[in-house]
Amino acid sequence: MTVAVLDAHEVRIGRRQAVDQARALARRSVVGTLRQPQVWLPGLLFPMFIATVNTSTMGKAVHIPGFPPVDSLLDFLLPASITQSVLFGGLTAGSDTALDIQTGFFDRLLASPVSRTSILVGRLAGASVTGALQAVVFMVVYGIFGVRIAAGPAGAVLLIVFAMVLALVIGGFAAMLALRTGSAEAVQNVFPVTFIGLFISSAFFPTELMTGVYRSIARRNPITWMVDGMRHQVIVGLDWSEAATSLAVAAVLAVLAMFGANRALQSRLRRAT
């Protein structure tokens, strides 16, 4: 009986320590990202640049029949910019993991009694927090230029939650690749693929106005399902059904990505040991 009680106590301590370890590693991840403006600044400026160019050159597209009802193209692009920025930033979670492997910091972690899962959870939690910060920056900056979220504060919170889950998706897939290859370059090479995925979706243009194969692909693209649900909160108003669809798609992808990343971690640990 005593042994059982001690075991349970030890398990509780182990769990608490694993949470503390994951939190400390998440903090390292966020601090490390924030201390590298060269890493996060392009992820903010590039989507803003694209939104600026699109708004200037295609601003009148909002008057095309069938275009969702918006005051300005910038309203339409807010969820796209957040998605683009988070896709870019989420890859950092993978490339930083690969760098830890390349520099030997990963070995330092493994030589300590850290929970192996905490290494991964910490990294992805850090990416998720960074995603939330990115969403806030876009809402503030676009807000200065007149974008109002129709769903109000609840819509803003939904956009932040969406950004956090999306960061888990891309961060998880990037971490999986990093753990499989141990190469930061391999992770960075995924960037163009995510970009193609973003452009063949409703992120920058409504699928209703697309034609042919492009439209067919875009309608099946999970990015479309995620972005449309969030866009609804920005340009129409609070709609839990739309939000749930968007977040559910992101959540399923996040679970798949984290499962894959965990498999890759276990595989790396087996290879190493």
Partner 1 sequence: MNVVGGHPIEAEGLVRRFGDLVAVDGVDLVVEEGEIFGFLGPNGAGKSTLVRMLTTLLRPTAGRARVAGYDVVEQAGAVRRSIGVALQDAAIDPLMTGRELLRLQAVLHGIARAEADERGDVLLERVGLRGAADRRVGTYSGGMRRRLDLALSLVHEPTVLFLDEPTTGLDPTSRLALWEEVRRLNDEGTTVFLTTQYLEEADELAGRIAIIDGGKIVREGQPRALKEAVGAHTLVVTVPVAQDGAAADVLLRFGEPRAAKAGSVAIGLAGGPAELSGALRALEDAGITVEHVELDAPSLDDVFAEATGRRLEGAESDEPAVEVSG
Question: Residue numbers of the site for partner 1 (CB under 8 A)?
Answer: 13, 17, 20-21, 24-25, 28, 31-32, 35-36, 103-105, 107-114, 272-273
Question: Between 22 and 166, whose beta carbon lies closer to partner 1?
Answer: 22
CB atoms within 10 A of CB 241: 9
Question: Between 31 and 58, whose beta carbon lies closer to partner 1?
Answer: 31
Contact of 257 with 173, CB cutoff 8 Å:
yes
Q: Least distance (Å) from partner 1 to the CB of residue 16?
A: 9
Residue 153: which residues within 8 A CB-CB, separation 6 or more? Answer: none
Q: What is the DSSP letter of 111?
A: T
In the structure encoding, which two tokens stand for residue 158, read together?
Answer: 């939904």
Q: Least distance (Å) from partner 1 to the CB of residue 105?
A: 5
Question: Between 79 and 122, whose beta carbon lies closer to partner 1?
Answer: 122
Residues 242 and 224: their CA atoms lie apart, in Å, by 12
Q: Least distance (Å) from partner 1 to the CB of residue 62?
A: 43
Q: Least distance (Å) from partner 1 to the CB of residue 34?
A: 9
In the structure encoding, which two tokens stand for residue 218, read together?
Answer: 């875009």
Residues 70 and 135: their CA atoms lie apart, in Å, by 20
Q: Least distance (Å) from partner 1 to the CB of residue 116?
A: 10
Closest CA to 158 of 238, 220, 83, 97: 238
Name the CA radius of gyration of the chain, rounded.
Answer: 20
Question: Between 13 and 53, whose beta carbon lies closer to partner 1?
Answer: 13
Question: Between 161 and 178, whose beta carbon lies closer to partner 1?
Answer: 178
